[in-house]
Amino acid sequence: MSLELSEQEIIRRETLQELRKAGINPYPAEKFEVNCTTAEILEKFPEDNSLFQDISIAGRIVNRRIMGAASFLEIQDTPGRIQVYFKRDDISPGEDKSMYNNIFKKHLDLGDIIGVTGFVFITQMGEITIHAKSFTILSKSLKPLPMVREKDDKVWDAFTDPEQRYRMRYLDLIVNPEIKEVFIKRTKLVNTIREFLNEREYLEVETPILQPLYGGAAARPFKTHHNTLDMNLYLRIANELYLKRLIVGGFDGVYEFSKDFRNEGMSRFHNPEFTQMELYVAYKDYYWMMECVEEMVERVAIALNGSTQVQVGENIIDFKRPWKRYTMFEAIEHFTGIDISKMDEVHLRETAKKLNIPVDETMGKGKLIDEIFGETCEDKLIQPTFIYDYPIEMSPLAKKHRTTEGLVERFEAVCNGKEICNAYSELNDPIDQRQRFESQLVLGQRGDEESMVLDEDFLRALEYGMPPTAGLGIGIDRLAMIMTNSHSIQDVLFFPQMRPEKKATTSSDEEFMSIGISSDWIPVIRKAGIQTIEALKKENPNKLFNDLNGQRKKLKLDIPALKIEEVSEWMK
RNA sequence: GUCUUCGUAGCUCAGCUGGUAGAGCAAUUGACUCUUAAUCAAUGGGUCGGGAGUUCGAGCCUCCCCGAGGACACCA
């Protein structure tokens, strides 16, 4: 038994021993047969009271109301909670009432996982309840659970600390079961997209996460090293260039749900690892892809929320097709009244200044247009909107516009003021692609850490010939945020990236023993707040001697009292 | 990275102008045969995030550090 534990944790460990003494294994190996769930009972029992008369159910104790010879627990399983009624004479039918009086009343705690057999009835207060005939301890909980209580939509003692919720997501899921809904919707979102793409017979594929060159996006990568090959590898920032190689290889439709990694800032919209779905379809163009995205996302909205309309913060967003479409120039004109489509770089810079957009001399034409759009339009685009025809400088993998010089065939869908996807008519001209990479290299040499690197093998693939192809990348986390009305990306990731928890520096038991302290006293010393040998040696021996023996008395420890000589000996 | 707010019992929080650390729930003991924020009585539980400084005296003031949230920057 460790004295570093809290009072409640010590008590629970003692309870564990009591159970073992009573011949009960608190962590049994046998399976426990479950034949129904809380959701099934709550749904079907009101319509037919003859159902659920011989049930076996398992769950975690999340509430207790213990009385004399009858008691109520609430147990929680995956879909929900239900009340369970325990009556002394049912649990302990014979003379020996210890199963009810001791095991049930004293050795069960909030957080324990139990199995229950019995039948369903309705209490005098009108609540659907399981009348327990027997119960089995399936797992003993050694840490006290935060106790969230609620009535009439009012909540007391909610477990809300975001740090703890994100670090201990398991606890968050137990105590705030409604957040399960967000993650269930996220999975449904992925499944809906997968079904949509599979219906069209596109092939779901897997491509390398460890890449010798990182490509397909503009971002800083995570770097790692392979020992056997003695080479640097990068965690992928995108999988675009690999999927296009598969299009070259003759698959006409490929997609991948891809965990990508970007070594950049974190915010409520950015986690270092995140999920994108990328899709490439041969013989299509970006107009075709817009329709594909509309149909897919509309379907997701209906699958998750039963409607094309989704409440997001203050706004109701309607994904019903068709979505609004603006070229980038049209969008800027719409929101600022200024037509920049014919402007040269000098003129654009003046316009940006007039609009109070910070500019510097390194910005080229494309960057200026992008800045003007970002500052004046993006926030205002709440309903899903396609923005298309981007300046060529920002898009080294997109095909040149079929009619307009200086633009590429690219679109983004913007929704709730944020980009949710990015798509092109893919560049398949290998000569043009090489030139675009080369101009990225120039940017890199000028110190742009996010410029793309030149991938010779990818160019070789293009030289063999890639069919005209439409490509899409859609941010699954961002889409999940919108579809679940979540404020932060951390709310749609089970385990968002966090700084490591700090560990207080402590000396090991061995180190304490090496200066002559017996193992019995080490926990007492730690309990007194002395975690290191250095700290111990700074103590006054007389005071320490008194304090430790005081603890011994207080905690009724069954070890001999210390002598002052022993304490002095440690100090040497 | 910058600014800003926060960190007190297992959980949610209070703590006055710097003067002996508090409440509710949870826990322990007892009472109670349909309760539901169960109720009633009693009891125990604290490195006030960590460290330094100012002070006769610091949860409170100052500085540094750690962690978290928010905003901004960056990230098409």
Write the Ramachandran bin of A416: left for phi over 0, alpha for psi from -120 to 50, otherwise beta: left
Residue ranges for chain A with pLDDT beneath 70: 1-3, 502-511, 522-544, 546-558, 571-572
Q: What is the pLDDT of residue A502?
A: 63
With CA atoms as reference, report the closest residue to A286 among A192, A368, A388: A388
Q: Which nucleotides of B are covered by protein (CB under 7 A)?
A: 1, 9-13, 24-39, 44-45, 47, 66-76
Q: What is the pLDDT of residue A358?
A: 82
Q: Which of residues 429-468 of A touch strand B (CB under 7 A)?
A: 450
Closest residue to B73 (CA, C1′)? A265
Residues sharing a CB contact under 8 Å with residue A461, sequence separation 6 or more, in sequence order: A244, A245, A248
- Distance, angstroms, CA A411 to C1' B76? 11
Nearest nucleotide (CA of A72 to C1'): B35
Nearest nucleotide (CA of A412 to C1'): B76
Cα distance between residue A228 and residue A247, in whole Å: 31
Q: Which of residues 373-392 of A touch strand B (CB under 7 A)?
A: 374
pLDDT in tens, A293-332: 999 999 999 999 999 999 998 899 999 999 999 999 999 9
pTM: 0.88
| Cβ contact A126 with chain B strand, < 7 A | yes
Name residue, tokens 């560049």: A427
| Cβ contact A67 with chain B strand, < 7 A | yes
| Cβ contact A224 with chain B strand, < 7 A | no
| Cβ contact A490 with chain B strand, < 7 A | yes
| Cβ contact A264 with chain B strand, < 7 A | yes
| Cβ contact A156 with chain B strand, < 7 A | yes
- The ipTM (two decimal places) reads 0.91
Distance of CA A430 to the CA centre of its chain: 39
Q: What is the pLDDT of residue A544?
A: 66
